[in-house]
Amino acid sequence: MNFLILAAGTRNKIVQYFKKTFEGIGTVVATDASELGPAIYDADKYYIVPSITETGYVDLILDICKKENINGVLSLIDPELSLLAENVEKFKEVGTTVIGSSYELCEMSLDKMLMFKWLVEHGYRCARSWDNKEDFIKALNAGEVSFPVFVKPARGSASISISKVNDIETVELLCSHEEGLMIQEFLNGQEFGADVYIDLISGEVVSIFTKKKIKMRAGETDKAVSFKDPVLFELIKRFVKEAGYRGQIDIDIFCINGEYYISEVNPRFGGGYPHAYECGCDHMTLIKNNLNGIVNEKHIGEYDEGIYMMKYNELKIIRKQA
């Protein structure tokens, strides 16, 4: 059984965990667009590939799947998730299962306005959002929202081009210089993260790990502590089932005055997932089981509270080949 990790980048721990899981039964292959993506060197084998926007990119990945007899594939970057989901049947034809959610859900997760509208329509608490300046100004004048607010790309990830804004002049300036921006209410509360696995066969939520975020860096959790709340577990299960996600997802949640607000969803392994793994939530094994046709049993919240995660820098040294 062989596994392919696309856009491995700096997610060395993810590659290491998969390699440990498939040790003795198969090979872990990784790709990246740069030979300086350190995580590829933790795989059993790697390929340097072009950008996902290049013509023929999907055919190239399919060729790798055929050549390496890949059983399962996933990506670690948001823009590629929709691409995989869009071509899920092509991967099936070469014997490869895409670990991920539907194309529609990948697109909704990437587009924050689409996610906001879905959450509102289905009765979930979330940050109020506007996709044009005029509607925001009307809400501001009506007292429905106040500064600060976030101005961000509606389709974006890794906190790129996000600005915390305290006045209307800055909102107007930002919106006049870049298209595709949205304005979002600032949620002033404790932020939580959830690493969730939804069984590919049964569609049931089988694992949830939640953490209280202490410090963020470049859009990822830098320091956090494991946390449990049955109310939050029930909210996550209801939301995930109602939306229809599959495989690994990462959810950002805020708690304000005792109420939980869903912020964002990444239908992939998040940067803070190693915290969950080291606390005993082994989602790599859940994926392996599903690839073997095994339905996973539920292990929700089976970890200890009060376990801290603190990220720090490591080095990968390689010698340039002649």
- What are the backbone dihedrals phi and psi of residue 104, each rounded to the nearest 5 degrees, phi first? -60, -40
Surface-to-core class of residue 179, CB atoms within 10 Å of its CB (0-12 exposed, 13-18 middle, 19+ buried): exposed
90-138 pLDDT per residue, tens:
999 999 999 999 999 999 999 999 999 999 999 999 999 999 899 999 9
Q: Which domain holds residue 135?
A: 128-185
Residue found under tokens 């072009």? 50
Count of domains forming the chain: 3
CATH number (domain holding residue 305):
3.30.470.20
Q: Is the pLDDT of residue 157 over 70?
A: no
**pLDDT value of position 160:** 67
User: Does residue 137 belong to any structural domain of this protein?
Assistant: yes
User: Does residue 169 belong to any structural domain of this protein?
Assistant: yes
Burial code of 54-71, b = ≥16 C-beta within 10 A, e = fewer?
A: eeebbeebbebbeebebb
Task: Give the three-state DSSP class for 281.
Answer: coil
8 A C-beta contact, residue 43 and residue 29: yes
**pLDDT value of position 230:** 98
Q: Is the pLDDT of residue 71 over 70?
A: yes
**pLDDT value of position 122:** 98
Which of 76, 98, 120 is a domain's end point? 98
Terminal CA-to-CA distance of the chain, rounded, Å?
Answer: 33
**Residue 156 burial (CB count, 10 A):** 19
The mean-pLDDT minimum among 61-70, 185-194, 218-227 falls in: 218-227
User: Does residue 204 belong to any structural domain of this protein?
Assistant: yes
Average pLDDT for the chain = 95
Tell me what the mean pLDDT of segment 264-290 comes to. 97
Same domain, 87 and 144: no
Same domain, 142 and 202: no
Same domain, 71 and 138: no
User: Does residue 257 belong to any structural domain of this protein?
Assistant: yes
Band of pLDDT at residue 321, cut at 50, 70 and 90: confident
Phi/psi region, residue 84 (left: phi>0; alpha: psi -120 to 50; beta: rest), is: alpha
**pLDDT value of position 45:** 97
Report the predicted TM-score, pTM, of the whole model to 2 decimal places. 0.95
Strands 149-153 and 97-98 come out as unpaired
Tell me what the mean pLDDT of segment 73-94 comes to. 97
Same domain, 213 and 255: yes
Residues of the chain with pLDDT > 90: what percent? 91
Same domain, 196 and 168: no
Q: How far apart are CA 169 and CA 33, in angstroms?
A: 39
Q: How far apart are CA 166 and CA 53, in angstroms?
A: 36
Show the DSSP H helices in the chain as ranges: 12-22, 57-68, 78-86, 88-93, 103-110, 112-121, 133-141, 168-177, 230-243, 273-278, 283-291
Give every CB contact of residue 146 below 8 A, 6+ residues apart in sequence.
Answer: 140
Same domain, 141 and 192: no
Q: Is the pLDDT of residue 232 over 80?
A: yes
17-55 pLDDT per residue, tens:
999 999 999 999 999 999 999 999 999 999 999 999 999
Question: Which structure tokens are listed for 35?
Answer: 């030979």
CATH number (domain holding residue 78):
3.40.50.20
Which of 185, 212, 233 is a domain's end point? 185
Residue found under tokens 């590629």? 80
Higher pLDDT, 9 or 158: 9
Give every CB contact of residue 189 below 8 A, 6+ residues apart in sequence.
Answer: 254, 255, 256, 257, 261
Which of 49, 78, 98 is a domain's end point? 98
8 A C-beta contact, residue 286 and residue 298: no
Band of pLDDT at residue 320, cut at 50, 70 and 90: confident
Same domain, 267 and 288: yes
User: Does residue 162 belong to any structural domain of this protein?
Assistant: yes
User: Does residue 111 belong to any structural domain of this protein?
Assistant: no
Same domain, 139 and 48: no
**pLDDT value of position 221:** 87
Same domain, 52 and 134: no
**pLDDT value of position 187:** 95
Tell me what the mean pLDDT of segment 297-318 comes to. 95
**pLDDT value of position 69:** 98
